[in-house]
Amino acid sequence: MKLKIYALIFFLHFSSILSANQIVDQNAIHKNLRCLVCQGQSIADSNSDFAQTLKMVVKDLINQGKTEEEIYDFLSDKYGDWILYKPKFNLENFLLWFFPYIVLIAGGFIIVFLIKKRSKKV
Amino acid sequence: MRKTIKSITLIVLIFILGVFFISLNKSTDYNTEHLIGNKLNKIKFESLEHKKIFTEEDFKKNNYTLINFWASWCAPCRIEHPILIKLSKEQNLKILGVNFKDKKINALKFLKDLGNPYDYLAKDTSGKESVNYGIYGIPESILIDNKYIIQKKFIGPLNLKDYDDILEVINSL
């Protein structure tokens, strides 16, 4: 009997963890999807008809067992990369991803160089 | 060293100005032109009037099919309706009307009042099916060939220019 109770508690605990994860994932996906008919809003922030439909589609895709990436692939295939707030990494936008790092490294070199130069003068 | 810093600053400045210049001159209007040339897979629509599912097989024999998403509550759909009526007389073209988030009674009244240009009448009550076609508002229309390749996509009500564009495609056979 005790074993059954433990099993039930474990099952309930495990299923609640799973459902909590799903809610988190779903919200994260909503936040990364642009509402195409709104002004700068994600579908998480919008109650528009389009946002509501997309939320239902995302829910269906999650229920079908699709991963976050697969959902983004599906929707960007239908609406283009514009629908994603976080752009995908590809040839067209690699500068967008790397430019901040390039600037950071270049800035670091300049600072190091200036410090060295100053210390030489002193 | 100062020269190097100056040149790096200049390059960065030119780059930033370049990005601004390109971005500001680029149209920010969202469009789904990238869908042109794509193949529609797994076409599946529920019939509005009967217990039937329309699939690719139903459109296979048509040279061209225009999929039009419409609703009785949509004012621009009334504007484009005369164009659809004109297109319905074309021999190379069949029109599939997808009634979007609408009530059957209102949809049928709309067609009774304004005429029915559709060879196939389907429905998408929840709007979820339309996401598969990149639809984000209505009216929208997609022209496909008999291999289900998207030839044209029209966002908003069809106008006379769109009508000519469609004729050009369907008469190019």
pLDDT per position as a tens digit, A34-81: 998 888 899 999 999 999 999 999 999 999 999 998 999 999 888 888
The phi and psi torsions of B118 (rounded to 5 degrees) equal -90, 135
Residue B34: pLDDT band by 50, 70, 90 thresholds? confident
Q: Contact A51/A38 with Cβ under 8 angstroms? A: yes
pLDDT tens per residue, range B42-62:
889 999 998 899 998 888 899
B137 close contact with A: CB closer than 8 A: yes
Give the pTM: 0.75
Q: Is residue B56 part of a domain?
A: yes
Nearest to B118 by CA among B142, B72, B87: B87
| Record: contact B133-A50, CB cut-off 8 A | no
Please check whether residue B131 lies inside any domain of the structure.
yes
Please identify every residue of B annotated as catalytic.
Answer: 74, 77
pLDDT of B142: 95
Classify residue B82 by burial, with Cβ atoms within 10 Å: 0-12, 13-18, 19+.
Answer: middle
- Kindly give the residue spans of alpha helices, DSSP state H, lying in chain B: 2-25, 56-59, 75-87, 104-114, 128-131, 160-170
Residue A86 has pLDDT above 90, yes or no: no
The span from the CA of A95 to the CA of B106, in Å, is 51
**pLDDT given at position A13:** 57
Counting Cα atoms < 13 Å in the Cβ hemisphere of B50 gives 5
pLDDT at A24 over 70: no
Does B34 reside within a domain?
Answer: no
Residue B141 lies in a domain: yes
- B10 part of a folded domain: no
CATH number at residue B107: 3.40.30.10
Angle between helices A68-79 and A49-63 (to 10 degrees): 140
Residues of A in contact with B32 (CB under 8 A): 78-80
End-to-end CA distance of chain B: 67
| Count: domains in chain B | 1
- The domain in which residue B95 lies consists of 42-170
pLDDT, one tens digit per residue, over B105-157 is: 999 999 999 999 999 999 999 999 999 998 988 999 999 999 999 999 999 99
Report the candidate in A13, A53, B98 with the shortest Cα–Cα distance to residue A43.
A53
pLDDT at A2 over 70: no
